[in-house]
Amino acid sequence: MPPETAAPTDAPPELPARVLCVDDTPTNLDVLDAVLRAAGYEVLRAPNGGDALRIARTERPDAILLDVMMPGLDGFAVCRLLKADPHTADIPVVLLTASAGNQDDVVRGLELGAADYVTKPFRRPVLLARVSAMVALRRDLQHRSARLAAAEADRLALVRTEKREALALLAAGLSHEINNPATAVLASLDTLVFTVRRLAGKPLDPEAIASLEELCKEGATSLRRIVDVVRDLSSLGDRPSPRAEPRPSLLDLGEVVSLAAGLVRQAVGEVAELTVSAAPGVYTLAVRSDVVHIVVALLRNAADAVTAAREAGGPRGTIHVDVAAEGPVARVTVEDDGVGLPAGALARLADPYFTTKATGRGRGMGLAVASQTAASLGGELRVEARDPRGVVATLSLPRRE
C-alpha cells in the first residue's frame, strides 16, 4: 500500500504517490502497472531510456522502477543521467535486475546512485515494500526541504527586519549627531546676521566684538562636529575618530544670560532699553552654547517685536531679562513691550516656519529650535501675551545646587 508520512493534522492530504516504470517489454510494464495501481499508486510508463529521462524531468515522479537490460540507453546509463540532472537527482531509483546472482550489476547500479534493487521475476510484497520505502524517503526529504526553505525564508525576513531597524537606528543617531550641532551653527549665524543688519556702518564696542568672537568659536566647534560625523559615516567599520563633543557643565544662569545679552545689546540699543537682573547662585546643568542660543533667540524675537511697535509710531521700547530660582526650577524670563501677538498665534509659535513677522524679518525657526533645545535639556519654553501688548517668554530648566 502507499506509504504514510508524518504530517501535521491540519496539513492538506497528500496526492497518491506517482511511480515511473521503465521497461522495454510491454508485458512487464503491464504487470508493474497492475500491481502498483492495485496498491493505490499512480503509474507513469516509459518503454525506453529516452522517454524515461523526458518523463522524469517533466513529471518528477516520487520513485522510478528502472529495468537494467534495455536496448539503446540501458538502465545504468539512464540512472547515471538521472543523478547528473539537478531536476531529477533526488528521485529514488529502484533497479529491476534479471538475476540476484549478478552482484556486479547491483554494485554498479548502487554506485551510480540507485537507492535499491528488485530481482525479476519479482515478488509482489517485496516490490511494494521497496517502492513504499522509497516513496516515504522521498516525501520525508521533501517535507524536510520545505521546512528548511520556510526556516530560511523566516531567517531572511528577520535579517531584513533587523537591517531596517538598524538603518532606522542609524538614521536616528545621525539625526541626533548632526541636528544638534547644525542647530547651533544656524543659531550662531542667525545672531551674526541679526547683529550685522542692525549695526551696518556703525562701530562695534569691545564687549560686542568679544561676544561675537565667542559666538563664532562655538559655531566653528559645531561645524567640526558635523565634519567628524560625516567622516565617521564614510568609514563605517573603521575606528571612529575622536569627537570634540561639548559636555554639559554646571552653569551660572546669570553669567550665561549676561553673555547672551552682550551679543545683542548694541544691536538692540537703538530701539529698546535692555536690562538684566539675575539672582545669585541660580545654576543648571547644560551645554553653555545651547542655553546661550535659546536666550539669544528670545532676545531677537523681543527686539523684532519692539522694532515693529516703534515703526508703527510707538516710543522706544523696553526688554527686560530676569533670572530666578523657584524650588527645583531655574527660570529665565524675557519680557518686552512690543507689538504683542495676534489671536491664535500662541498655539503655533513652536511650529517650524510659522512666523508673525513681516516678510524678510524671519523664517519662523527661532522659537521652534529654541523650544526643541529646551526640551533636550529637560526643560520647557513657554510664551504668553501681555495685556495690553507685549510678550513674556519663560525658559524653565532643572535647577542644580
DSSP 283: E
DSSP 323: E
Q: Is the pLDDT of residue 6 over 50?
A: no
- Phi then psi for residue 43, to 5 deg, are -115, 135
List strands edge to edge, sheet with 18-22: 42-46, 18-22, 63-67, 93-97, 116-119
Domain ranges for the chain, please list them.
18-122, 162-237+244-398
Cβ atoms 398, 343 nearer than 8 A: no
Tell me the C-alpha distance between 108 and 254, whole Å.
Answer: 97
Q: What is the average per-residue pLDDT within 164-174?
A: 65
Q: List pLDDT tens digits, range 194-223.
A: 666 666 666 666 766 676 677 677 777 777
Q: Is the pLDDT of residue 56 over 90?
A: yes
Cβ atoms 123, 101 nearer than 8 A: no
- The residue behind cell 529654541 is 370
pLDDT (0 to 100) of residue 169? 63
pLDDT over 90 percentage in the chain: 33
pLDDT (0 to 100) of residue 102? 67
What lies within 8 Å, CB to CB, of 172 at 6+ separation is: none
Q: In angstroms, how far is the first alpha carbon of the chain from the final one?
A: 88
Q: Is the pLDDT of residue 227 over 70?
A: no
Which residue from 89, 92, 58, 96 is spatially nearest to 74, judged by alpha carbons?
96
pLDDT (0 to 100) of residue 327? 93
**Exposed, middle or buried by CB within 10 Å (0-12, 13-18, 19+), for 21?**
buried
For domain 18-122, which CATH number applies: 3.40.50.2300, 3.20.20.70, 3.40.720.10, 3.40.50.10140? 3.40.50.2300
Q: How much is the pTM?
A: 0.44
Q: List pLDDT tens digits, range 338-369.
A: 887 765 555 555 554 445 444 434 434 467 77
pLDDT (0 to 100) of residue 54? 94
Q: Is the pLDDT of residue 150 over 50?
A: yes
pLDDT (0 to 100) of residue 57? 93
**Exposed, middle or buried by CB within 10 Å (0-12, 13-18, 19+), for 289?**
buried
Q: List pLDDT tens digits, range 29-54.
A: 999 999 999 999 999 999 999 999 99
Which CATH number is 162-237+244-398 given?
3.30.565.10
C-alpha cell at 114: 540507485
Weakest-pLDDT range from 6-15, 72-81, 307-316: 6-15
Q: Is the pLDDT of residue 131 over 70?
A: yes
Concatenated DSSP letters for 79-140? HHHHHHSTTTTTS-EEEEES-TT-HHHHHHHHHTT--EEEESSPPHHHHHHHHHHHHHHHHH
- Phi then psi for residue 110, to 5 deg, are -65, -40
Q: What is the average per-residue pLDDT within 49-78?
A: 92
